[in-house]
Structure 1
Amino acid sequence: MNLLFLTFVFPLLGYFLLAFSRGRISENLAAVIGVGSVGLSALISALCIWQFNTSPPEGGVFSQHLWQWLDVVGFSVAFGLHLDGLSLTMLGVVTGVGFLIHLFASWYMRGEEGYSRFFAYTNLFIFSMLLLVLGDNLLLLYFGWEGVGLCSYLLIGFYFKERKNGNAALKAFIVTRVGDVLMAFGLFILFVQLGTLNIPELLALAPQKFAEGDLWITLATLALLGGAVGKSAQLPLQTWLADAMAGPTPVSALIHAATMVTAGVYLIARTHGLFLLAPDVLELVGIVGGVTLVLAGFAALVQTDIKRILAYSTMSQIGYMFLALGVGAWDAAIFHLMTHAFFKALLFLASGSVINACHHEQNIFRMGGL
């Protein structure tokens, strides 16, 4: 498990190699670097998961301190990794499903302009998501959080020569930014009240500092919920997700299945100890999920674009996860997150094959005999 840091180092190296090549390398070499870096990350992840299960660390938690990131008066943040059952599950989903999507994309994107640019962005996406799920403090998590937001903008607007694709990317970037600002306020409140952003320390100190329903913990968890709602496309910040279909199909699979859209669910599950101290906010999490899953399901019924149907399906399925979180069924929420990652990735990649077979036709009423 000491090799845990390599899980995000390989995708970052892949990103730098592809970004600095500036499209001057062959498609084969770009595919080897892009897919290979995530494949190596998946192998290291598999090794860490095997070691974690065969010889569990003391207390069921493995921590790896890499270096001191910030150290100013009264505020110190380490660059450290935290591996427990939750982050282990997310690690397997991000690298495992992410690798399979990269493998599919190496075929699907052949002949497209910007082939190496595509893999540079997706490698950066995987790196950011791994930082998000492995970071042992909320500042490192927020760094990864903003990274996936940036990568979603770059990938949704991949075909930027068409104005509507650029607009869809901007919409995703701006709408999720609303949630991110709220989340930043939550981090400020938690630091001012508890003096740390280290997640295990926060969860230990919060019950000592706050009574159930205390104003500050309610405001902090509301702000965290705002961030989760933006990133996971729940009401009222759900409008960006359907337009995110402007990107290539493997991007849709990556955003909806393995990475960005599940980040909000992970955030609430990771900080569930704080939400338990704010039962009204926890109830709101369930209400948001319940309303979103019904509305998104109805919206899907009237779509004609095969990818938009799947986008609304994602919104609805994430709603189920929020509903489970709202009633305290943490295990059920994360279990559904994991199963959803696989079936939604398969649905998107299958839709990509269908779109290719129908000569880039996405209207379901113009398909048949498949």
Structure 2
Amino acid sequence: MSFFKAIRIDQRAETCDARYVDMAEEELMPGDVDLAVTHSAINYKDGLAVTGKGAVVRRFPMIPGVDLAGRVTRSTHPDFSAGDLVVATGCGVGEAHYGGFAERARLSGDWLVKLPGTLTPARAMTVGTAGLTAMFCLLALERHGLAPTDGPAVVSGASGGVGSFAVALLAAAGWRVAAITGHPAEADYLTSLGAAEILAREAFAQPGKPLQSQRFAAGVDTVGGVTLANILAQTQFDGAVAATGNVGGMDLPASVAPFILRGVALLGVESVRPRIALRRAAWARIATDLDAALIDAMCEVIPFDQALERARAIVTGKIRGRVVIEMP
């Protein structure tokens, strides 16, 4: 019997108990591809899972880790063979199916994408769900027909994970990017990612007129609520906003004016469902569009034995940038 190290969450009475354990490969959940996990990453959702502060885990016991990269060791899926380097994000991994905080994983091949040759597992985990979601937003804006020549783009929550990657990806695609942040000290960081203008979060945090001055051709919103309403009100004729977050609230206190008087489009973006063709396209673009040095600058690599401590820390706001876990 073969064993591997993992972080496992067990439900005990009304609490969640996350700890390092040794598990047998026979305990892995069903799947047609086995992986030796080489890297994972710490997302806010993982912090909620290990602390029990959010309803993230949908079954117990659970191995957290919504992102993982590794090498295929066994496959009965037609698209994968032993030795392939692959990446998985979302798809219920780390929530309903054992995730990436372990040395081994067994997943459905329908959730996996082969890593493009220029993207290492560590860099793929630096990008992770955050970067993939940002790329989904850019692809949605492009499918709508928007281009940098149409005008500037705006990104809310720009110093967060999705926001940071949205700034970098839009800038790499040629857009002039205005970055909204509530952290003035992050201005240099956002400029290094490609932001041409830094906007104060406070200017978008209070309710405004249904229609305001037309400033942006496109937007990526990671906040929701009043912020999204103000961005919509400032989007120009035939523009669009890709919405993918709700830290500012689930409500949208807006009117129909931007939609019916300016033809503005609100594009919803989600990153959990497989949609494998879109994932392949997104990872291919990430590999070509994002500079490797920029990815590395956003990353801190830690050993597996520090993962549980850092996952707990992320929910207290003590982590900036991306923390990548390197497996033994």
Alignment TM class, shorter chain as reference = under 0.3
TM-score normalised by length of structure 2? 0.28
Which structure features the higher share of strand residues?
2
TM-score normalised by length of structure 1? 0.26
Q: RCO (CA 8 Å, sep 6+): is it higher in 1 or 2?
A: 2
